Amino acid sequence: MSFWERGTWIGPMRKQNSEFKTAFTSEADCDLKNTDYFGFVELDQYACYVVADGIDDQTDAVSARLAVAAAVSAFSEAPSMSKRTMRACLDAANRALIKETGSKKKLKASIIIVVTDYVKLRYGQAGNVRLRLYRDGFVRYQSTDQSLTLDMVREEKVEPDKVAVHEERNNLYAYLGQEKEFHPYISQKIKLANTDAVALYTRGIWENIDEGELGDVYAEASNEPQELVDNVEELLLSRQPEDLGKYTFVTLFVNKVFIDPNRKRRIRRVIMTVVIVVVIIVVVAVVLTILHNRRVRKREQMEQGYLDTIEYIQIDNYARAQECCEEALELAENLRDRTMIKQLGDYRKLIESVLAAQEYMDGQRYADAQRAYKEAAARSIYVDSVGLDYINGRLALTADYIAVYDLINLGDSLALNLQYEEAEEKYLEARAIAGSLYFDDGRKSAIEALEKLYEDRKAEKEAEEAERKEQLLRQETGANYVSQGDVAFAQGDYEGAKVYYLSAWQLYGDMGEQTQQLAAEEKLQITEEKIEERERLKEEAQGYMQEAEEAAERKEYTAAKKYYLLAKDVYASLQMEDKVEEITRKMERMDIKLDESMLQESIQEDNMLQDNMLQESSMLQSMQEENAVREGGTETIEQQGTEMLSE
């Protein structure tokens, strides 16, 4: 470490091929008072140069000396060119003055700190000690005083060439010794070049030598910094200023900057590192994109399943709604979508309640079915009352079924008490209700109860019995008409069903059975509505076909397949097998166009379509067998009727 000794000094450096030379001069004023101070330290990796100008009027130069010593010490403890290190050096110098400040004296100073790594430099400043960087004889970079005068220059209130004599040039807003609002300036890194020269000087120099004259000295300088310092001092003294005060001038010659022999290798390593990082980022981005796309596709499938679930519930197809709901719920669980899991869970509970109720209905457990439908009605509240109309309808139907059997049981009790007319009234009421509900089992039970009642009254009037039997036969005939109409209706033969219902309506009219006639008339109306609905469904299916074709032209195969499925369901409900086969062929051709990523899904969809076709075929075969059985039963009833007429 070297301080304000006069002369040239070349310190040890970390680099082998760099050369930094330092020279300075520092003189007191006419009263032998010098409050300037210069110190520096040159280490293997970094060097630090500090100039301080005491502004506290202390004759022992304690302010500048304390500031320089504190700054150099702070730098030596943690050499670096970072802004943090520079700030730490400035703060250390400021704290040193504040710590030494007593009740009778206030220590203050201007300071400039220059730090270099022999390739670049950075400076920190508080006050009006100045820095100039010369390159090829011209000013490359210069500091700016932190004074009121410089602010006025920036505001164009003072001419730049009047700064040296302006009365506010020493009115500083940043200086050492500030306890609050200490805001020094820290520069960016400045790259050095061979033959650069740095000048550091206090106000004793710049108040008496202007920038142009100083530039001329540097333009004519040799390679020796001490010679330049002597020239500057000679120029200053030749002016013989009357109020010449103390002054300090330091110059740093950068004859050769450090060239790092490993720079290219480091650049290559950096490039390789960057390439690897970029590749990793790209791979991660691709993986994340794939995962994101999969997640988006799963979400779309989940939302579509959610919508399909609602649509199937709205058309009362709870078996299909259950399949869609389970698939969507599985996707929601994979996506951890709590909201959708909650909503789909509510729909699943509703569907399970309805399917359980339907199973009870099929098993003639009507009380259990009524309970299950009530539970479903309560659950529908949590899904915006979707399917509530259907559930209420089934509840009313279940209540009517229960009412039929209640009437039959009441009739049985009356018959046991020999109250035949009252029992017959209950049986007839049960039969009428069952007939209006198309409740074949209930109607059959009511008729059986009536037959048993009539057998019990066989000892009564034969004429009444014969008439009663004839009435029953006609009832059975009408019921057969209705039953055959129901079979034709179930098979989609609405024109044939219309003929049977019309025959039943005429027969019930001849019999005076207004209730049954009204029931047959309602069936007629429903059949006519079905005929109209069949035409409407054909138009709807044609619309789906058109939308599917348009979607296929747009290559939206998933949407096209959806519309084909909708059209196929409609045609299947209409039992138009030729259309179903046509759509199947279209879907097979469309599936070929799907890309390999959708191949597995297409195979699964084809398997599902084949299963549906097998189920439909099985259902059709079952219906045909059931029709055959019913036709055989009808023949038996007709034979019985013929025998009774013969007797």
Q: Note the pLDDT of residue 8.
A: 40
Q: Note the pLDDT of residue 544.
A: 82
pLDDT tens for 169-217 read: 878 889 998 888 899 999 999 999 999 999 999 988 888 888 888 988 9
Higher pLDDT, 420 or 193: 193
Higher pLDDT, 411 or 50: 50
Q: Is the pLDDT of residue 475 over 80?
A: no
Q: Is the pLDDT of residue 126 over 50?
A: yes
Q: Note the pLDDT of residue 605.
A: 65
Q: Which helix (H) or strand (E) holds 327?
A: helix 318-335
Q: Which of 1-15, 157-171, 186-200, 362-376 has the highest mean pLDDT?
A: 186-200
Question: Range with the lowest mean pLDDT among 123-127, 145-149, 391-395, 614-618?
Answer: 614-618
Q: Which of 162-166, 253-257, 547-551 has the highest mean pLDDT?
A: 253-257
Question: Range with the lowest mean pLDDT among 53-62, 246-255, 449-458, 620-629?
Answer: 53-62
Mean of per-residue pLDDT scores for the chain: 81
Q: Which two tokens stand for residue 240?
A: 């013989």
71-77-78 Cα angle (round to 5): 95
Q: Note the pLDDT of residue 57.
A: 59
Q: What is the pLDDT averaged over residues 132-153? A: 89
pLDDT tens for 227-238 read: 999 999 998 888
Q: State which amino acid sits at residue 337.
A: D
Q: Note the pLDDT of residue 627.
A: 74
Q: Is the pLDDT of residue 534 over 90?
A: no
User: Where do you find CATH 3.60.40.10 in the chain?
Assistant: 19-257
Q: Note the pLDDT of residue 252.
A: 94
Q: Is the pLDDT of residue 330 over 50?
A: yes
The CA-atom distances, in angstroms, between 431 and each of 442, 471, 512, 631 are 7, 14, 15, 22
Contacts 24+ apart (CB under 8 A), 495-498: 495/531, 497/523, 497/527, 498/524, 498/527, 498/528, 498/531
Percent residues over pLDDT 90 in the chain: 18
Q: What is the pLDDT averaged over residues 159-174? A: 78
Question: Range with the lowest mean pLDDT among 34-43, 94-103, 273-282?
Answer: 94-103
Question: Range with the lowest mean pLDDT among 107-116, 381-390, 625-634?
Answer: 625-634
Higher pLDDT, 116 or 553: 116
Q: Note the pLDDT of residue 46.
A: 92
Beta bridge partners of 125: 112, 185
Q: Note the pLDDT of residue 74.
A: 95
The CA-atom distances, in angstroms, between 72 and each of 49, 65, 78, 93 are 8, 11, 10, 9
Q: Which of 81-95, 227-241, 376-390 has the highest mean pLDDT?
A: 81-95
Rounded-to-integer distance, Cα 336 and Cα 334, Å? 5
Q: What is the pLDDT averaged over residues 329-351? A: 87
Global pTM reads 0.45
Q: Is the pLDDT of residue 59 over 60?
A: no
Q: Which of 330-344, 429-443, 451-465, 594-608 has the highest mean pLDDT?
A: 330-344
Q: Is the pLDDT of residue 137 over 60?
A: yes
Q: Note the pLDDT of residue 3.
A: 39
Higher pLDDT, 639 or 207: 207
Higher pLDDT, 610 or 322: 322
* Pairing mode, strands 196-201 and 19-27: unpaired
Percent residues over pLDDT 70 in the chain: 87
Q: What is the pLDDT averaged over residues 383-387? A: 82
Q: Note the pLDDT of residue 551.
A: 81
* Pairing mode, strands 196-201 and 130-135: antiparallel
Q: Which of 430, 415, 438, 516 is nearest to 471 (CA)?
A: 516
pLDDT tens for 108-120 read: 899 999 999 999 9
CATH class of the domain defined by 19-257: alpha beta
Q: Note the pLDDT of residue 467.
A: 72
Three-class SS state of 386: coil
Q: Is the pLDDT of residue 596 over 60?
A: no
322-326-332 Cα angle (round to 5): 140
